[in-house]
């Protein structure tokens, strides 16, 4: 018998019928058992967590705190207890669990309520401000005319374009200044003047955007070149 067969038969020990001795029957039963064991391990963890939540919720609601607020405010109070320990305390040590809940209510829950009230107040102020803007009683909080999304996007695009144009102008000016400085530092600066002007004209020609007619001419030239290459091939 092969080692693989021996291993499967060893796992099938205790099965009834041919499942404990016949490899073909045993391998199906063993694989099905492994699959069920895997799912059972996952379900055990899931069911355990659900039971812990039920026990904690029952104990905390008897003391005036819901499960979600208790679990959320535990780290705020500096209490690092997991759900398993809390459920054990709620089931076997009610006085200890009550002490934990009272500590959370005195520290963590209070800070959470203060943060929640501040958030609600800020949300209310923001909603009222937007309402005033919609009714036309106040100006929008952003520097646009009517606060519409289209206006905002248009202004953003225009600002970005103007910023890029300013950067390009600054770089061009700095390049011109650097070239002029190099030319003036040369002992024979006069002969370079014409070359400098020609160079700057070339730079301006390269940076100039193409017109629609020039684009069409370039496309036609490329197409003609491609046809000529195809005929030669």
| Per-residue pLDDT at 126 exceeds 80 | no
The pLDDT value recorded for residue 144 is 46
Is 16 part of a structural domain of the chain? no
Is 224 part of a structural domain of the chain? no
**Count of domains observed in the chain:** 2
Q: Among the three residues 74, 106, 138, which one is the final residue of a domain in this structure? A: 106
Task: Write out pLDDT tens, residues 184-203.
Answer: 665 554 555 555 566 666 66
For residues 59 and 94, the answer to whether their CB atoms sit within 8 Å is yes
Is 160 part of a structural domain of the chain? yes
First to last CA, the chain: 70
Query: Quick one: average pLDDT of 122-141?
Result: 66
Is 78 part of a structural domain of the chain? yes
Give the rounded percent of residues in the chain with a pLDDT score beyond 90: 18
Give the rounded percent of residues in the chain with a pLDDT score beyond 70: 70
Tokens 């963590």 belong to residue: 108
Q: 29 or 122: whose pLDDT is higher?
A: 29
For residues 38 and 68, the answer to whether their CB atoms sit within 8 Å is no
Q: Which two tokens stand for residue 40?
A: 């059972």
* Same domain membership, residue 88 and residue 30: yes
* Same domain membership, residue 102 and residue 30: yes
| Cβ atoms within 10 Å of 196's Cβ, excluding its own | 15
Domain hosting 155: range is 147-207
The CA distances from residue 40 to 33, 37, 44, 49, 51, in Å, are: 10, 5, 6, 14, 16
Q: 111 or 70: whose pLDDT is higher?
A: 70
The pLDDT value recorded for residue 189 is 47
* Same domain membership, residue 94 and residue 34: yes
The pLDDT value recorded for residue 218 is 74
Is 5 part of a structural domain of the chain? no
DSSP string, 7-48: HHHHHTTT-SGGGGT-HHHHHHHHHHHHHHHHHHHHHHHHHH
| Per-residue pLDDT at 158 exceeds 90 | no
Is 218 part of a structural domain of the chain? no
Is 173 part of a structural domain of the chain? yes
Query: Quick one: average pLDDT of 121-135?
Result: 69
| Per-residue pLDDT at 177 exceeds 80 | no
Q: Which two tokens stand for residue 179?
A: 């070239």
Q: Among the three residues 57, 84, 106, which one is the final residue of a domain in this structure? A: 106
Q: 111 or 200: whose pLDDT is higher?
A: 111
* Same domain membership, residue 102 and residue 156: no
Q: How high is the mean pLDDT of the chain?
A: 77
Tokens 């040369």 belong to residue: 186
Q: Among the three residues 106, 130, 156, which one is the final residue of a domain in this structure? A: 106
Distance, CA of 12 to CA of 20 (rounded, Å): 5
CATH number, residue 70:
1.10.1900.20
The pLDDT value recorded for residue 40 is 95
Q: 232 or 227: whose pLDDT is higher?
A: 227
Is 10 part of a structural domain of the chain? no
The pLDDT value recorded for residue 37 is 93
Distance, CA of 112 to CA of 14 (rounded, Å): 57
Distance, CA of 111 to CA of 119 (rounded, Å): 12
* Same domain membership, residue 158 and residue 102: no
| Per-residue pLDDT at 129 exceeds 80 | no
């Amino acid at each position: 018998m092969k080692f693989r067969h021996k291993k499967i038969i060893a796992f099938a020990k205790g099965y009834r019928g041919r499942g404990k001795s016949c490899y073909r029957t045993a391998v199906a039963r063993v694989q099905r058992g492994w699959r069920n064991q895997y799912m059972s391990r996952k379900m055990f963890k899931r069911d355990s967590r659900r039971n812990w939540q039920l026990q904690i919720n029952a104990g905390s609601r008897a003391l005036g705190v819901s499960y979600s607020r208790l679990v959320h405010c535990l780290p705020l109070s500096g209490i690092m207890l997991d759900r398993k320990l809390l459920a054990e305390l709620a089931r076997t040590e009610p006085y200890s669990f009550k002490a934990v809940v009272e500590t959370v209510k005195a520290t963590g829950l209070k800070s959470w309520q203060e943060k929640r009230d501040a958030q609600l107040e800020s949300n209310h102020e923001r909603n009222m401000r937007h309402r005033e803007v919609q009714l036309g009683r106040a100006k929008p909080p952003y520097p646009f005319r009517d606060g519409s999304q289209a206006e905002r996007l248009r202004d953003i695009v225009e600002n970005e374009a103007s910023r890029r144009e300013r950067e390009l102008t600054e770089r061009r000016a700095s390049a011109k200044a650097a070239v002029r400085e190099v030319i003036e530092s040369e002992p024979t600066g006069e002969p370079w003047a014409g070359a400098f002007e020609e160079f700057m004209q070339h730079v301006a020609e390269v940076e100039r955007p193409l017109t629609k007619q020039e684009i069409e001419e370039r496309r036609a030239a490329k197409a003609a070149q491609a046809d000529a290459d195809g005929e030669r091939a």
